[in-house]
Amino acid sequence: MQQDETLRDGRIVRGEDPLNLEMPFSSLDQFITPTESFYVRTHFPIPAIDKDEWWLHVEGAVERPFEINYEELLELKSLTTPVTLECAGNNRNFLEPKVKGVQWGLGAVGTAEWTGVPLATLLDRAEVKSEAREVILEGTDGGALEEPKRPSGKVQFARSIPLAKARKDVLLAYQMNGNDLPPQHGFPLRAIVPGWYAMASIKWLQRIIVIDRPFSGYYQTLDYAFWKRRGDIAELAPLTEMQTKAEIARPAQGEMVSVNSKVRVHGAAWTSDGEITKVELSTDGGATWNEASLIDQAIPNAWRLWELEWRTPSQAGKQMLVARAIDSRGGTQPVERDPDRGTYMINHLLPIEVEVR
Ligand SMILES: Nc1nc2c(c(=O)[nH]1)N[C@H]1C(S)=C(S)[C@@H](COP(=O)(O)O)O[C@H]1N2
Ligand SMILES: [Mo]
């Protein structure tokens, strides 16, 4: 956790090439994450796209394939909604032993207000055929891969969504927090897939391909997948829904607090397809739990801020703070890490050590 952390304009640099920036989660102080604090995850160089030259192609198992440009897209009926994005590798640097991948701490997550056109609008225009099952979203970015198991040559970043989900609530966003998408976040257009880990929220969208069978692209199977067990058989399943999680913003790991004082412990909690109904905090490493207050209203597909006043012990020493979330589907967080999740979906209980003195 406390490795060297280079900050750039208030974000932790987790990688330069490709660019990966993390929000210092201890800076959480409002429901909406400002764009300049929002984490950035890229796999390839950020494409420089001229919106006047850009086209979005809608094709595949549709009656009427078409292309649409930026201007035309902006004329369609839009909506604005807050959605929380979390990288499937968020919290990876808590894993022991260390695993490969970007060493995210707590801040590969954020909530922005997204404005755009429902994917359903474009699917309706294209007239999806009855045999259609999934929708592939393809980015403009791509390149050669380094993993031992890889296709040769260039691969585009692409992911698929089941047709029902694509129609239900996937947004094609051109604005983030009221301004045009910045290049880092997918200008001119990105998908927002509510409730799913953010690898599905494809940036720099260039193609929407409707298909009649499950997509088995690189980022759907070899990467961004986990082992789903049927007894002794394990099959690779694509990552989809975010797992229930609460994170503590303050006090942060290693922070010092005074004995016999009142400290505000606060953070955020989220889930997918439901709402957070309770957040509990333990200040003794999980032995006893207290219920935190949930702040404001529950908003679907967005995190819920929470807080609790902690009366610190009269004795100096180290204390382990642990938060856990419970959602309306009865989902909560596992105590132990499930190794079948590989390097993703990290939502087991994570203690934060603070020093009382
Ligand atoms: N085209 C494209 N889309 C992408 C990615 C990418 O590298 N290329 N990264 C994905 C991953 S893994 C995450 S976590 C989110 C990050 O979105 P952000 O950079 O806006 O926070 O974008 C997703 N969409
Ligand atoms: Mo991610």
pLDDT in tens, 76-101: 999 999 999 999 999 999 999 999 99
Q: Which of 38, 140, 203 to mutate to test the pocket of ligand 1 (most atoms within 8 A of CB)?
A: 203
Q: Give the pair of three-digit tokens for residue 238.
A: 């694509």
Q: Give the pair of three-digit tokens for residue 55.
A: 């086209």
Taking residues 312-319, report their average pLDDT.
97
Q: What's the CA gap between 173 and 190, in Å, rounded?
A: 5
Q: What's the CA gap between 48 and 186, in Å, rounded?
A: 10
SS (H, E, C) 142-176: EEECCCCCCCCCEEEEEEEEEHHHHHHHCEEEEEE
Nearest ligand 1 atom, CA 40: 19
Nearest ligand 1 atom, CA 204: 1
DSSP 102-144: ----S-SEEEEEEEEEEHHHHHHHHTB-TT--EEEEEEEEEEE
Q: What's the CA gap between 45 and 34, in Å, rounded?
A: 23
Q: Considering Cα of 15, then 18, then 19, then 24, what sign does the dihedral take?
A: negative
Q: Give the pair of three-digit tokens for residue 94.
A: 């808590």
From the list 162, 145, 106, the residue with the least C-alpha distance to 223 is 145
The answer on pLDDT for 2 being more than 50 is: no
pLDDT in tens, 334-350: 999 999 999 999 999 99
CB of 217 closer than 6 angstroms to any ligand 1 atom: no
Q: Which CATH class is domain 7-238?
A: alpha beta
Nearest ligand 1 atom, CA 141: 1
On whether the CB atoms of residues 126 and 66 are closer than 8 A, the answer is yes
Q: What's the CA gap between 207 and 215, in Å, rounded?
A: 14
* Distinct helix (H) and strand (E) counts, the chain: 4, 25
pLDDT in tens, 108-145: 999 999 999 999 999 999 999 999 999 999 999 999 99
| Residue 309 CA, ligand 1 centroid: distance in Å | 36
Q: Whose CA is nearest to atom 6 of ligand 1?
A: 42
pLDDT band at 4 (very low <50, low <70, confident <90, very high): low
The answer on pLDDT for 6 being more than 70 is: yes
Q: Report the chain's terminal Cα–Cα distance, integer Å.
A: 21
pLDDT band at 5 (very low <50, low <70, confident <90, very high): confident
| Residue 308 CA, ligand 1 centroid: distance in Å | 33
Q: What's the CA gap between 176 and 81, in Å, rounded?
A: 10
Q: Nearest bound ligand to CA 203?
A: 1
CB of 87 closer than 6 angstroms to any ligand 1 atom: yes
CATH of 245-356, one of 2.60.40.650, 3.40.1190.10, 3.30.565.10, 3.40.309.10: 2.60.40.650
In the chain, where the domains are located? 7-238, 245-356
Q: Considering Cα of 120, then 126, then 132, then 137, what sign does the dihedral take?
A: negative
| Residue 160 CA, ligand 1 centroid: distance in Å | 14
CB of 42 closer than 6 angstroms to any ligand 1 atom: yes
On whether the CB atoms of residues 307 and 247 are closer than 8 A, the answer is no
Verify cis geometry, omega within 30 degrees of 0, for the bond prior to 251: yes
